[in-house]
Amino acid sequence: MSKGERLIWFKGNIVPVESAKINVLSPSSQFGANVFEGLRAYWNVYEKQLYVFRLLEHVNRLQDSIKMAGFETVFTNAFLQQSVIDIIRANNFQEDLICRQTVFLDGFGSWSATGPVEMFIAPMAKGRYYEKLQGIDVCISSWERINEKSLSPKIKLGANYMNSRMGQLEAVRNGYDSAIFLNQEGTVSEGPGSCVFIVKDDILITPPLTASILDSITRSTIIDIASNDLGLKVIERDVEKDELYVADEIFMCGTAVEVAPVFSVDKVQVGQGTEGRITLNIKNLYFDIVRGKVKKYKKWLTPVYGG
């Protein structure tokens, strides 16, 4: 590999990103017929090790997406995991990164094709998502979140992200950093690429899986560590829009955004308009875990080098 050359895993080979080309007439290209995962790996400077966070859970969810999208099943879990490790290794990354693993419909079929199924995996060096922001200002989107009656938000389907796109573009156009969608019931759903938690009277509350949200791996990690390690009461229940305006703290979470404090909703300040104490505690523990500093959670980490 020449210096600065970016390699990606493409249809079973490791190639420079420029030479990975897909057919313009593929169902993926034409109709968004692809399913994907966004993963992160964290560099542990003391151990000189890169750890992929919850690789198994991502691969399991990818298999569910493949099934729900009606693609032929051609990859084993072991293969999906190993391919991620292989391409990160090939790039010799020694820094935090984000990795897109996309399974797509190739060939010349229509939107109802079930194959041929192919994959690319593209890691990219990436630190924090909201690099310059301590917290974010969000609006309630005028767009409704897609729901299980039409297009399941549980599938990480490329086409689903056109709903995310509408919400995000509108938010940015109106001067916000991001948006929170309501679902068809009018209760809080999720962000364009993240889930939502609120804190009220020291209780952590998040919309349930039935609120038209993705079954977020970060969300379930936070539910787990907040109750088991931080001694917090955590409740999964429907959250009304007005609860956002009077919450003590709000944060968004996801693989990409990690834990992102929300400072205002529709220009209404959340709490003190700064990062709340509980959010900070969760964020600090989350970063310790993903970097491999918490022994009991090393089970969630897959080392890239050695082994």
Window of 71-79, 102-110, 130-138, 192-200 that interacts with ligand PMP by CB under 6 A: 192-200
Rounded to a whole number of angstroms, the minimum distance from the CB of residue 214 to ligand PMP is 4
Contact 187, 211 (CB under 8 A): yes
In this structure, the number of other CB atoms found within 10 A of the CB of residue 188 comes to 27
Judged by CB under 6 A, does residue 167 bind ligand PMP? no
Window of 116-124, 211-219, 284-292, 296-304 that interacts with ligand PMP by CB under 6 A: 211-219
Rounded to a whole number of angstroms, the minimum distance from the CB of residue 23 to ligand PMP is 26
User: Which residue, 183 or 216, has its beta carbon nearer to ligand PMP?
Assistant: 216
Which pair of structure tokens corresponds to residue 303? 């080392």
Rounded to a whole number of angstroms, the minimum distance from the CB of residue 94 to ligand PMP is 23
Residues 3, 132, 156, 283: which is the catalytic one? 156
Judged by CB under 6 A, does residue 32 bind ligand PMP? no
Binding residues for ligand PMP restricted to 51-110, rule: CB under 6 A: none
Rounded to a whole number of angstroms, the minimum distance from the CB of residue 293 to ligand PMP is 20
Is 126 labeled as catalytic in the residue annotation?
A: no
> Half-sphere exposure (CA, 13 Å, Cβ side) for 177?
20
Interface pick for ligand PMP out of 8, 136, 188, 195 (rule CB under 6 A):
195
Interface pick for ligand PMP out of 140, 217, 282, 285 (rule CB under 6 A):
217
Rounded to a whole number of angstroms, the minimum distance from the CB of residue 67 to ligand PMP is 17
Q: What is the DSSP string of the chain?
A: --TTPPEEEETTEEEEGGG----TTSHHHHH--EEEEEEEEEEETTTTEEEEETHHHHHHHHHHHHHHTT------HHHHHHHHHHHHHHHT--S-EEEEEEEEE-TT--TT----EEEEEEEEE---TTTT-SSEEEEEEEEEPP-TTTS-TTS-BGGGHHHHHHHHHHHHHTT-SEEEEE-TTSBB---SSSEEEEEETTEEEE--TTTT----HHHHHHHHHHHHTS--EEEE---BHHHHHT-SEEEEEETTTEEEEEEEETTEEPTTSS--HHHHHHHHHHHHHHTT--GGGGGGEEE-S--
Judged by CB under 6 A, does residue 216 bind ligand PMP? yes
Judged by CB under 6 A, does residue 38 bind ligand PMP? yes
User: Which residue, 156 or 291, has its beta carbon nearer to ligand PMP?
Assistant: 156
Interface pick for ligand PMP out of 141, 168, 194, 206 (rule CB under 6 A):
194
Judged by CB under 6 A, does residue 222 bind ligand PMP? no
Interface pick for ligand PMP out of 206, 255, 279, 302 (rule CB under 6 A):
255
Residues making contact with ligand PMP (CB under 6 A): 38, 164, 190, 193-195, 214, 216-219, 254-255
So which residues are the catalytic ones? 156
